[in-house]
Amino acid sequence: MIESWRWFGPLDRISISEIGQTGARGIVTSLHEVPYGEVWTREAIATRRAEIEAAPGGLHWAVVESVQVHDAIKKGDGPLDALYGAYRETIANLAAEGVRVICYNFMPILDWTRTRLDAALPTGGTALRFSAVEMAAFEVHMLGRDGAEADYPDAVLAQASDWAKQATEADRERLLSSIMAGLPGYYNRFDIKQLQDILEEWKGITEADVTANLKRFLSEVVPTAEEHGVRLCVHPDDPPRPLLGLPRIVSNATQIAELLGAVDSPANGLTLCSGSLGANPDNDVPAIARRFADRIHFAHLRNVTKEPDGSFQESAHLEGDTDMVALVKVLLDEEARRRAEGRADAEIPFRPDHGHELLSDIGAGTHPGYPMIGRLRGLAELRGVIAGLSHAG
């Protein structure tokens, strides 16, 4: 497996030379400064690639995360030919610079969503956390979204009401800021009124609509990916449940099967995110990986601990509810199968995802979920699992 590390380019407080000291060799990055829907020029891609390759440690640009899909495509809103054309041109430009794995997501408006970025750990340090109670308080009492009450159990709504009564202005600002933090590299951050306005644009758009829009997107861009030897890999929803009244369409094995089957091509693949899928109590993550192994082109390896009310918290990589050893075994078995076929792209790039803030991480101001020491701990643990399984044969 290709040990990789997410880097936010010039936006990142962790330098490319520091990443070289982790032992990872693949860089996972994006041109975050390019607005959604615009072409990534070959010149801009080459500049970023050269910056990566000039750093010590033998680094290379292994995966793009992400070439973001414009919300107009997700909504199926208005003339889209120019947006599809820009995406196809970006695919071709990336391939011309040797970057051939593209992770993307189809989540409306927000990417990953958490309600607290600094949940205290018993031994010190902090973790990302999703609280069903705080999310309900946000939707019902801060956002005032029509119909939000129907999305939460009565017990959660009662606790949310208590939270709203006791919350200070600082509590409310912290909650809004935490929810907005799941958009690294995207410059817009919405206040309550802006979020209400943008949600209004999504009224009446159903899960079936968004699924159809993703299938159309695939039909428009997968042929270009095939032509240039590029692997597209959709990232699952995080968390894998509807939020803010918005449909989620990549949350379980049934939905994944439908989307991969819509354009049945190796270029239409999956980013196996163990944390995103693992937050759904109905998902058996190693089983999902086994079922779709031949279409996994990239992996995010992290763990979460779930709670009965729908809350979850980021765990250490080898803790939490997903059997990480079993999951890594599935990926190694798939690599062995690909090597037996003689494939040059047999190795699956992976990265440690959403580490805890530990020691000097705290207060360092790195992107939420992306500290140095917490992810380095995760990488070391995963490296040990891979070595042990590989030695065992």
Pairwise CA distance, residues 219 & 318, whole Å: 38
- Check if 87 is active-site: no
CB of 29 closer than 8 Å to CB of 65:
yes
What sign does the CA torsion over 319, 322, 326, 327 have?
A: negative
Please tell me which residue in 84, 87, 152, 370 is annotated as part of the active site: 370
Summary count for the chain: helices (H), strands (E): 14, 12
The beta strand positions in 80-184, using DSSP E, are 101-105, 116-120, 126-130
- Check if 187 is active-site: no
What's 138's DSSP letter? I
Please tell me which residue in 70, 300, 317, 356 is annotated as part of the active site: 300
Pairwise CA distance, residues 87 & 351, whole Å: 25
- Check if 356 is active-site: no
Please tell me which residue in 70, 297, 317, 354 is annotated as part of the active site: 354
Please tell me which residue in 273, 317, 356, 361 is annotated as part of the active site: 273
Pairwise CA distance, residues 77 & 166, whole Å: 40
> In which order are the strands placed within the sheet that holds 312-315?
116-120, 126-130, 312-315, 303-306
Rg of the chain over CA atoms, in angstroms?
Answer: 20
Pairwise CA distance, residues 80 & 68, whole Å: 15
Pairwise CA distance, residues 79 & 73, whole Å: 9
CB of 62 closer than 8 Å to CB of 69:
no
Pairwise CA distance, residues 276 & 130, whole Å: 12
- Check if 353 is active-site: yes
Q: How many CA atoms lie within 13 A of 179 on its CB side?
A: 23
Please tell me which residue in 70, 84, 87, 235 is annotated as part of the active site: 235
Contacts with 357 (C-beta within 8 Å, 6 or more apart), sequence order: 118, 125, 126, 127, 364, 371, 373, 374
Residue 171: CB atoms within 10 A of its CB come to 14
Please tell me which residue in 151, 237, 353, 361 is annotated as part of the active site: 353
The beta strand positions in 144-282, using DSSP E, are 231-235, 268-273
The CA-atom distances, in angstroms, between 353 and each of 4, 84, 99, 315 are 10, 30, 21, 11
Active site residues: 235, 273, 300, 353-354, 370
